[in-house]
Amino acid sequence: AQTVTQSQPEMSVQEAETVTLSCTYDTSESDYYLFWYKQPPSRQMILVIRQEAYKQQNATENRFSVNFQKAAKSFSLKISDSQLGDAAMYFCAYTHAGNMLTFGGGTRLMVKP
């Protein structure tokens, strides 16, 4: 069975600085997708960024980028120029097929003004 592990329950960052959230996963599949979701206090699940395993290039979305290391099964999220609105719970997730998402336990990110 696939597992997703986020080893940092909480992280904090100073506004305007950069922070990296860690995620590792375990799978025997070669083709899959990885995601980072943001959950603000409103509880809404917001897709931040997506990486397809067959693509070697790391995905980027504005201030958000990933470091995807397929051999190491590592998928970290880097947030640059952190803003107060980035404070939230962040979930790493995996899917092979059929759209069932396997989630990590989450990392709570606090942004200090």
Partner 1 sequence: EAQVTQNPRYLITVTGKKLTVTCSQNMNHEYMSWYRQDPGLGLRQIYYSMNVEVTDKGDVPEGYKVSRKEKRNFPLILESPSPNQTSLYFCASSFSPDLYTEAFFGQGTRLTVV
Candidates 28, 43, 56, 113; binder of partner 1 (CB under 8 A) is 43
Q: Taking CB under 8 A as the rule, does residue 91 contact partner 1? A: yes
Find out whether 33 and 94 touch, Cβ atoms under 8 Å.
yes
Q: Taking CB under 8 A as the rule, does residue 9 contact partner 1? A: yes
Least CB distance to partner 1 at residue 15 (A)? 26
For residue 46, CA distances in Å to 5, 50, 90 come to 19, 12, 9
Between 98 and 113, name the residue whose CB sits nearer to partner 1.
98
Interacting residues of 100 by C-beta distance below 8 A, sequence separation 6+: none
List the Cα angle 68/101/81 in 5-degree steps.
Answer: 45
Between 30 and 42, name the residue whose CB sits nearer to partner 1.
42
Task: Please name the residue that has the structure tokens 């201030």.
Answer: 63
Contact residues toward partner 1 (CB under 8 A) are 4, 6, 9, 33, 42-45, 47, 50, 91, 93, 95, 97-106
